[in-house]
Amino acid sequence: MDCHSGRYRCHGAGDTERAAPAALQAGENLMSWPAVTALLILITYLTLFFWASSEVQRAAGQSVWLFGHARGRDRLAALGFRLGFALAMLGPVTAIVIPAQVTLPTGVNVAGVAMASLGMAVAFGAQMAMGTSWRIGVRAGSEGPLVTTGLFRISRNPTFLGQGILLAGTLLASPSVFTLIGFSVFAVAASVQIGSEEFLLRRRYRETYDQWARQVPRWIGLGGRKSG
């Protein structure tokens, strides 16, 4: 066979060298799809979060944004929520730009995407279920009617539960130091705000709240359990 004839084309070392980077790039693109999906889920959730909050504010005729009134540890919690979600989004972005910084089995990445989707659904569903009782932050005298139905029959804090699942799923779908710190910061901020909310709700609703707290766990359960 004459490699220089018009009938045949020979593939030399140069072709192989060019093909290798292309195959590597294709593999990296395939590996980054969970990060891309997780980022899209986060963006979708935050879009729904702000849209629903503005709708509740319009329906209630008063501001639902109470973070501006936060003081002390509640103010730190407010900053923690922002930082947690910002870092959670930064993780997938860096994974897309610089693939394979930290790797987990593909099955774990896929499970992370599923968790993120579930978390988004739970968090947004709980937010919508609160109706005009929805608040972002805590302030004495700003509590709405106590909601104890739907998702609130298995968790006293289904919005935070859903957000936690969302960020945990993002961590598995796009593992990085950013998503790990983001989830950790969120967990601390949520615990702080839950403590403040429980204090105000218990003071306002007294036995009604105490009875609900005895039946429904703080995070998740089937009821009938006491959770602090």
Q: Is residue 81 part of a domain?
A: yes
The pLDDT of residue 74: 79
What is the spatial distance between Cα 210 and Cα 92, in angstroms, rounded to a whole number?
A: 41
For residues 119 and 163, is the Cβ–Cβ distance under 8 A? Answer: yes
Q: Is residue 223 part of a domain?
A: no
Q: Is residue 111 part of a domain?
A: yes
What is the spatial distance between Cα 6 and Cα 3, in angstroms, rounded to a whole number?
A: 8
Cβ burial 65-87 (10 Å sphere, 16+ → b, else e): eebeebeeebeebbebbebbbeb
| 3-class DSSP assignment, residue 65 | strand
The pLDDT of residue 11: 52
Q: How many domains, the chain? A: 1
For residues 112 and 172, is the Cβ–Cβ distance under 8 A? Answer: yes
Split the chain (228 residues) into runs of 10 and give each run's mean pLDDT.
Answer: 52 49 44 89 97 86 66 83 96 84 87 98 95 75 81 95 98 95 97 91 91 92 53
The pLDDT of residue 104: 86
Q: C-alpha angle with apex 118: 125 to 165, nearest 5 degrees?
A: 95
Q: Is residue 59 part of a domain?
A: yes
Q: Is residue 131 part of a domain?
A: yes
Q: Is residue 206 part of a domain?
A: yes
Q: Which domain holds residue 138?
A: 33-215
The pLDDT of residue 4: 52
What is the spatial distance between Cα 173 and Cα 178, in angstroms, rounded to a whole number?
A: 13
Q: Is residue 82 part of a domain?
A: yes
Q: Is residue 112 part of a domain?
A: yes
What is the spatial distance between Cα 177 and Cα 200, in angstroms, rounded to a whole number?
A: 35
N residues, the chain: 228
